[in-house]
Amino acid sequence: MLLEVDHLEVEFATGQGPLHAVRGVSFEIGEGEVLGVVGESGSGKSVTAHSILRLLPGNGAIVGGDIRYRGGSVLQYSPAALRSFRGPKVSIIFQEPGRSFDPIYTVGKALEETLRAHNPEMPETEVRERSIQLLRETHVPYAEQRLHNYPHQFSGGLLQRIMIALALASDPDVLIADEPTTALDVTIQAQIIELLLELKEKRNLAIIFITHNLALISEIADRILVMYGGLAMEYGAAGEVLAHPRHPYTRALLASILILGEHYSKETLHTVSGGTPDPRRPEPGCPFAPRCPLARAACRETVPALVADGTYHRCILAGEKPEDLYARD
Amino acid sequence: MLEISKLYKAFSLEAGFFAPVGRYVYAVNGVSFTMKRGEIFGLVGESGCGKTTTARLVVRTYPIDDGSIVFTDNEGAVFDVGRLDHKRLKLLRSKVKYIFQDPAKSLNPRMTILEVLTAGYRYQESWPGKRQAREEAAEMLREVGLSPDDLERRPADFSGGQRQRISIARALITQPELLICDEVVSALDVSIQGQILQLLLRLREQYGFGMLFIAHDLAVVSYICDRVGVMYRGMLMEIAPAQRLIEAPTHPYTKHLYASVPTLEPVAAGDPEAGQHARGRRAGGARTTRFGEVPDPTVPPAGAGTELMQVAEDHYVSALFSA
């Protein structure tokens, strides 16, 4: 397996004691696969992704579980091994491309720096050729001329394309995309999704796509991981999770998103009452229990184990959930 | 209730000594539409299309360059927004209330919720005195699903969804007739968005206010709005009932915009193999149309102020960019 995350646990040290941001998350991703990670704010989805690159802030630490790349534990890597892992093996792009560039360098310079970081000997002409080639691959128009432009001279959509070009400069196997389209308009979002799918095909690139938008994930993911309160609530094939969600949280999430063309009448939208759990005040039991219409006393006592039945899901009521709980009319 | 005709607004780029001279960003270019009493009218479009500027002009955040905005209240009093004196403007702003996108940035963290709710209210002529206002504030909190006990707490004690409820309570306390909702659910989690939309709909039922609803999320707009206007480069391209825009979008830009919205494809359901990559499989798509990159906003678009043509009942389309 290309990349495996195995019972990952992440803690942050805070003034009020340790904050358990990720509480045992497992998934795997093979070559050319797209894993969609969906969750609301505070669900631990970004922390999970950043942990893969060991990019946690100073007060964060991986306290349990393992991350394996082609069988070897990333957690055991020496600093040198980590340097040749970040970039050449796994690369990452972020939400706001405008904030990920140094404004005083041209994008050509940014590409050159990345290319040279992994190949210090690369001659000038090759750097230039590779840079142009990368910009063409990500469909940046007038690639040659635009190498000389500064980040502020690009629109958000184009900057995100250049960000992707930068991530590809080190020729990774896995691309982590952390809410790459959240700051962009829907029209540009559709273009970026299309670009990612094209790269996946051409380069056999594996993608970990993080978002809060379940509709968006249905357009790109082969498999879906649904996170809530630092836990993997459901994990399985995209079609299965979307068509036959087993977990009440996945079902609630699917029922509460608005789909263009399906919701005309102002009556049909289901809403989930309550708010997302506060990781600073964890409660025992299933984190969704306070908002779950099916919750019973046992749900509030212990965190349910993962059950494999069509999908992996974490619910003690597996198998006895009435199908029409959130039926759409 | 609200009649906007041939509205124009450009912002000067001359921000400092070294800034370019005589260059403008043409934000709103000849926008005209009317809103009926109690109606929910949506404005959609990409960032920079002028939808927020249009909304802000309604409460005269900036002076109007050209055109007119006329608001008529329930008693039949007419407010020509561009020409109001200070006192009438204040009155207008108690009848037309603005709710912002980010409740974390639009609530003063030092104020208690009581102060937040009454800070603007106390300068209105309808100010009923401290004790009565406190009762009204408590009642309003109950209306938006919070508790009167929350009056003494501060914004930091609340989650994003709760803060947006406070913003709504603040807007409603002066009994406005028109609410301007500028991306009010964009910053919220999916499961919270629905709650806020339902709350707005319920309160509208109860108080009968109209809403000018701005959002980039077309699914949200289509759900809550009666009619929707599509904006591009500061101009309206199409106005139609929300449902009609989905079923029969007419202007090429509307088609481009609506085709970009991700949907939970029914094919994705059922067959896990065939379900993959609904987007990738969708033939043609809206990818590379000429609306791909928005042109330079410092060049005024040709044809600004062109009237829309009626193509069906309640359905108007611009002739611009359609060939």
Which of chain B's residues have a Cβ under 8 Å away from the Cβ of A193? 262, 279
Predicted ipTM?
0.76
B292 or B176: which leads in pLDDT: B176
Q: Do B197 and A239 touch (CB under 8 A)?
A: no
Two tokens, residue B282? 């969708």
Does B272 have pLDDT greater than 50?
A: no
Q: Do A276 and B191 touch (CB under 8 A)?
A: yes
A1 within 8 A of A19, measured Cβ to Cβ: no
Tell me what the pLDDT averaged over chain B comes to: 85
Task: Kindly report the nearest CA distance between residue B293 and chain A, in angstroms.
Answer: 8
Nearest CB to A240 within list B219, B272, B278: B272
CB–CB contacts below 8 A, A to B = 165
Nearest residue in B to A40, CA atom: B189
Comparing CA positions, the residue from A56, A72, A86 lying closest to residue A172 is A86
From chain A residues 190-219, the ones with a CB under 8 A of any chain B CB are 190-191, 193-194, 197, 212-216, 218-219
Q: Do B194 and A239 touch (CB under 8 A)?
A: no
Q: Give the pairing of strands A60-69 and A34-39.
A: unpaired
Nearest CB to B222 within list A239, A260, A270: A260
> What dihedral do alpha carbons A58, A63, A68, A69 form, nearest 10°?
0
Q: What pLDDT digit, counting tens, does each position of B105-156 carry? A: 889 999 999 999 999 888 888 888 899 999 999 999 999 999 999 999 999 8
Which of chain A's residues have a Cβ under 8 Å away from the Cβ of B189? 40-41, 212, 276
Two tokens, residue A273? 């009452």
Q: Do A187 and B291 touch (CB under 8 A)?
A: yes
Q: At what angle do helices A124-137 and A107-118 cross, to 10 degrees?
A: 110
Q: Do A218 and B265 touch (CB under 8 A)?
A: yes
Comparing CA positions, the residue from A132, A111, A135, A115 lying closest to residue A123 is A115
β partners of residue A23: A9
Task: Kindly report the nearest CA distance between residue B244 and chain A, in angstroms.
Answer: 10
Between the CA of residue B188 and those of A248, B61, B103, B165, B196, what are the distances in Å?
21, 25, 10, 12, 9
B237 or A213: which leads in pLDDT: B237
Q: Give the pairing of strands A231-237 and B178-182.
A: unpaired
Does B281 have pLDDT greater than 50?
A: no
Q: What's the half-sphere exposure (Cβ side, CA atoms, 13 Å) at A310?
A: 16
Rg (CA), chain A: 21
Q: Do A260 and B242 touch (CB under 8 A)?
A: no
Q: At what angle do helices A186-203 and A156-168 cross, to 10 degrees?
A: 20
Nearest residue in B to A188, CA atom: B292
Q: Could you tell me how far CA A305 lies from the centroid of its own chain?
A: 23
Q: Do A256 and B194 touch (CB under 8 A)?
A: yes
C-alpha A322/C-alpha A30 separation (Å) is: 34
Question: A164-176: b or e for each residue (b if 16 or more CB lie within 10 Å)?
Answer: bbbbbbbebbbbb
If you write DSSP's letter for every residue of B102-158 in order, what string do you get? -HHHHS-TTS-HHHHHHTTGGGSTT---HHHHHHHHHHHHHHTT--GGGGGS-GGGS
Two tokens, residue A88? 């050449």
Task: Kindly report the nearest CA distance between residue B120 and chain A, in angstroms.
Answer: 29
Which of chain A's residues have a Cβ under 8 Å away from the Cβ of B223? 258, 263-264, 266, 269
Task: Kindly report the nearest CA distance between residue A273 and chain B, in angstroms.
Answer: 7
Q: What pLDDT digit, counting tens, does each position of B52-63 carry? A: 999 999 999 999
Does A71 have pLDDT greater than 50?
A: yes
pLDDT score, position B17: 63
**Tokens 């407010």 -> residue:** B79
Nearest CB to A186 within list B192, B247, B261: B261
Task: Kindly report the nearest CA distance between residue B27 and chain A, in angstroms.
Answer: 17
Comparing CA positions, the residue from A178, A200, A190, A171 lying closest to residue A97 is A178
Q: What pLDDT digit, counting tens, does each position of B174-189 carry? A: 999 999 999 998 888 8
Which of chain B's residues have a Cβ under 8 Å away from the Cβ of A222? 276
C-alpha A199/C-alpha B172 separation (Å) is: 50
C-alpha B230/C-alpha B320 separation (Å) is: 13
Q: Do B190 and A40 touch (CB under 8 A)?
A: yes
Nearest residue in A to B265, CA atom: A218
Nearest CB to B279 within list A155, A193, A269: A193
Task: Kindly report the nearest CA distance between residue A156 and chain B, in angstroms.
Answer: 10
Task: Kindly report the nearest CA distance between residue B81 and chain A, in angstroms.
Answer: 31
Does A325 have pLDDT greater than 70?
A: no
A114-119 contacts: CB < 8 A, separation 24 or more? A114/A87, A114/A166, A114/A169, A114/A170, A115/A169, A117/A87, A117/A170, A118/A84, A118/A87, A118/A88, A118/A169, A118/A170
pLDDT score, position A252: 86
Does B276 have pLDDT greater than 90?
A: no
If you write DSSP's letter for every residue of B5-25 in order, what string do you get? EEEEEEEE---STTSPTT-EE
Nearest residue in A to B47, CA atom: A185
pLDDT score, position A5: 95
Lowest mean pLDDT, pick from A64-68, A280-284, B149-153: A280-284
β partners of residue A92: A176
- ∠ CA(B129), CA(B132), CA(B137), 5° rounding? 110
Which of chain A's residues have a Cβ under 8 Å away from the Cβ of B188? none
Q: Could you tell me how far CA A144 lies from the centroid of its own chain?
A: 32
Collapse the DSSP code of B168 into the 3-class scheme (helix H, G, I; strand E, B; otherwise coil) and give the result.
helix
Which of chain B's residues have a Cβ under 8 Å away from the Cβ of A194? 279-280, 285, 287
**Tokens 């646990």 -> residue:** A9
pLDDT score, position A327: 46
Q: What pLDDT digit, counting tens, does each position of A213-242 carry? A: 888 888 889 999 999 999 999 999 988 898
Comparing CA positions, the residue from A115, A96, A106, A180 lying closest to residue A146 is A106
Residues 6+ apart with CB under 8 A from B50: B9, B27, B28, B29, B31, B231, B233, B234, B235
A158 within 8 A of A147, measured Cβ to Cβ: no
Q: Do A239 and B276 touch (CB under 8 A)?
A: yes
Could you say which DSSP state residue A283 is in?
-
Q: Do A218 and B193 touch (CB under 8 A)?
A: no
Q: Do B270 and A190 touch (CB under 8 A)?
A: no
Does B288 have pLDDT greater than 60?
A: no
If you write DSSP's letter for every residue of A215-263 in order, what string do you get? HHHTTT-SEEEEEETTEEEEEEEHHHHHHS--SHHHHHHHHHS--TTT-
Task: Kindly report the nearest CA distance between residue B23 and chain A, in angstroms.
Answer: 17
β partners of residue A10: A22, A62
If you write DSSP's letter for every residue of A92-136 in order, what string do you get? EE-S-HHHHS-TTS-HHHHHHHHHHHH-TT--HHHHHHHHHHHHH
Which of chain A's residues have a Cβ under 8 Å away from the Cβ of B202? none
Task: Kindly report the nearest CA distance between residue B4 and chain A, in angstroms.
Answer: 26
Q: What pLDDT digit, counting tens, does each position of A79-121 carry? A: 999 999 999 999 999 888 888 899 999 999 999 999 998 888 9
Residues 6+ apart with CB under 8 A from B61: none
pLDDT score, position B266: 45
**Tokens 């509709």 -> residue:** A215
Mapped to the 3 state alphabet, what secondary structure does A129-144 carry? HHHHHHHHHCCCCCHH
Two tokens, residue B123? 């300068």
Question: A190-212: b or e for each residue (b if 16 or more CB lie within 10 Å)?
Answer: bbbbbbbbebbeebebbbbbbbb
> What number is the average pLDDT over the span B263-281?
47
C-alpha A132/C-alpha A206 separation (Å) is: 23
pLDDT score, position B206: 93
A264 within 8 A of A328, measured Cβ to Cβ: no
Q: Do B278 and A254 touch (CB under 8 A)?
A: no
Q: Do B223 and A269 touch (CB under 8 A)?
A: yes
Nearest CB to A242 within list B190, B268, B291: B268
pLDDT score, position B289: 54
Two tokens, residue B210? 């109209």
Nearest CB to A275 within list B192, B243, B280: B192
B48 or A36: which leads in pLDDT: A36
β partners of residue B33: B4
Residues 6+ apart with CB under 8 A from A191: A157, B287, B292
> Which residue type does B5 have?
S
A113 touches B at CB < 8 Å = no
pLDDT score, position A147: 93
